[in-house]
Amino acid sequence: MAEPDPLLFYETHYDLIGQWMPLRCDNVVLGGPARRICRFCGKTAPDVTFKKVAHAIPEALGNRGVVSLYECDACNTLFGEGIENDLGNWTKPLRTFARIRGKSGVPTLKRGGDTGWRIEPDDNGFQIKNYEDDPVMVVDHEAKRLHFTLKRDPFTPVAVLKALMKIGLTLMPEAEIGNFAHALAWIRLTDHNIGFAEKAPVFYQFQPGPMPNDRIVALLLRRKSGVEGVPYAFLVLGYGNEVFQVPLPSAAHDQAINGKLVTLSVFPVPGGSDPALYGPPGRKTLDLTGRDIVRGEVVPLTVGFENAIPVEPAA
């Protein structure tokens, strides 16, 4: 039996209700100048203020210009010090290698200490310090490959899931946001033991090869009227080499599929580098519902090179 056509699946099951492809220099403002009400806590002035710049997609992922006018300062601080910090820690290793420039530039990876390994971006690529007794990198000269064993900073998986959902709920059109009241309340909870999205698999795609590091792609998909048996809404978020397809649960519209096995195609991502040269995209499903802090999670990464030039160590 032939595999179902993913593009046809989404064309027949979902409508595209939002699309953003900003470059770092673009400015996009969500919301209007009317009386400002925080989308996440429901408060307005004078109970809350709206003085801070609220980024619809965290700056750590390379976003500078897409901001919202409906996130109050208190929620901005809550998310920035909480779930968005977990998202930053979780995404940091591959953001570094994709050279994604966040608020403080491209992040440096390091073990710590005076003799720990270090991977630091510069104008020409990366400066890598590697030690035999604590290697972060193994060189395969014959295959012309560098095999890295990176580690994530501490994170809580469900906090990462909340942060990804928060991006989708920030981008969600005002006419739709009422369908996500339970999700909005859940992502604000600092007690991650309180459940809501018990089964919320995130589809992950890695596009190998050189990819633009100055553009983010965000799409919102909503189930077509009259269609049943599939989740109500998704966020598709791509930057660098990584693409995430994140479910946006609606308590009102997803009741019919609760507890049922749902078969989905992964959203077909256009573009990417030459698969004949760099290989096909890698795909897997992520379970980000864990509620315990994860420390030292290993992230394997293989990078190709053309030439190795021996350099005498500095005296």
Residues 6+ away with beta carbon under 8 Å from 208:
241, 273, 278, 279, 280, 281, 282
CA distance 296 to 212: 28
Reported confidence tier of residue 113, pLDDT bands at 50, 70, 90: low
Q: Is 314 or 195 the better-scoring residue by pLDDT?
A: 195
Average pLDDT over residues 34-53: 94
Average pLDDT over residues 80-95: 97
Average pLDDT over residues 207-213: 88
Handedness of CA 113, 115, 117, 119 (dihedral sign): positive
Matching residue, tokens 């309180």: 194
Question: Of all residues in the chain, what percent carry a pLDDT higher than 90?
Answer: 62
Cβ–Cβ under 8 Å, residues 62 and 239: yes
- In DSSP notation, 9-30 reads HHHHHEEEEEEE--BTT--EEE
- In DSSP notation, 94-158 reads HHHHTT--BTTBSPPEE--STTS-EEEEETTEEEEE-BTTB-SEEEETTTTEEEEEEEPPPB-HH
CA proximity to 169, closest of 182, 156, 158: 182
Reported confidence tier of residue 104, pLDDT bands at 50, 70, 90: confident
Cβ–Cβ under 8 Å, residues 167 and 83: no
CA distance 19 to 12: 18
Matching residue, tokens 């009741």: 255
pLDDT at 315 over 60: no
pLDDT of residue 1: 45
Q: How many CB atoms lie within 10 A of CB 260?
A: 8
Highest mean pLDDT, choosing among 63-77, 106-120, 138-152, 252-266: 63-77
pTM to 2 decimal places? 0.93
CA distance 136 to 119: 9
Handedness of CA 293, 82, 200, 298 (dihedral sign): negative
